Amino acid sequence: MITGIKFFNKSVDKEIIAIYTILGIAVFYFILHPFTMVLYWFEFKNEPITFSSFIEVLGHRFKHSFSFKMLYMSLFFIVMGGVFGAAAGVFKVRTKKLSKHIDFLKKDISNLIQQGENQFLEFKSSIRYDFNLKTTNIELEMVIAKTLVGFMNSKGGKLIIGVSDEGNIIGIENDFITLKQKNSDGFEQKVYEIISKYIGKEYCSLVNLYFYPINNKNLCVLDIQKTNEPAYLLKGRETIFYLRTGNATRPLSIKEAVHYMNMEKDV
């Protein structure tokens, strides 16, 4: 199962933020402060700025920038530098944690794929693109819905799209070209359309969808929860009860479905 993980080291985080805060103060106080003083001097004198004149003014205005007379302006630049530096430090820490979290999830998904299909895991190459026909095949949508129903009626599980039955990563990019909105947003929208059409809108809340790039390919992981009420595949006027058993999803007759639901109530 894919699990979350927290990468917290408060002492390291505080150290990074402190370093960025100090760097921010140094940049604002020792660089931006005197340069601002020089620009103000040229504006006050109303003189044209050249490289040589700028260097000359910078020389005698540099020390003046740090004099007691400029205390309030110095404090302003120190505070601003500290604020910007701290904000940059927080951004750095969060970005680092997010990167580690994504790397962890990639490894976790890779491990799942290596384990192969089982009662809680299924692979599908696509939701609409037929690799044999090399074109769109909307009948594949029903195959996806059947798998989702099977997981919902059992104990839940995960459907990884973009992986062949043999466990090879092929990505979902071919699916993108079959969609009106040819990106992950369009893909997500299509998945929930499939659920609404073939199972029911009320079951959309049982499926959480995530995208992960692996080996320069995008994978989509559907995390399916167990339903409290039976879920059925809507096939025309028919309603079919599917159940995930082992590494396969199979239909149950009315008698088998009723017997299974009664057993579930007794558990």
pTM of the entire predicted model: 0.62
Q: How would you class 133 by CB atoms within 10 Å of its CB: exposed for 0-12, middle for 13-18, buried for 19 or more? A: exposed
| Residue 63 pLDDT level (bands cut at 50, 70, 90) | confident
Question: For residue 138, what pLDDT is reported?
Answer: 94
Q: Which residue has the tokens 């809108």?
A: 201
Question: For residue 267, what pLDDT is reported?
Answer: 56
Overall average pLDDT of the 121-131 stretch: 95
| Residue 266 pLDDT level (bands cut at 50, 70, 90) | low
Residue type at 31? I
The count of other CB atoms within 10 Å of the CB of residue 152 is 27
Question: For residue 37, what pLDDT is reported?
Answer: 81
Phi, psi of 172 (to 5 degrees): -110, 15
Residue 140 above 80 pLDDT?
A: yes
Residues in the chain: 267
Residue 1 above 70 pLDDT?
A: no
Whole-number average pLDDT of the chain: 86
Task: For residue range 67-97, list pLDDT tens digits in order.
Answer: 888 888 889 999 999 999 999 988 887 877 6
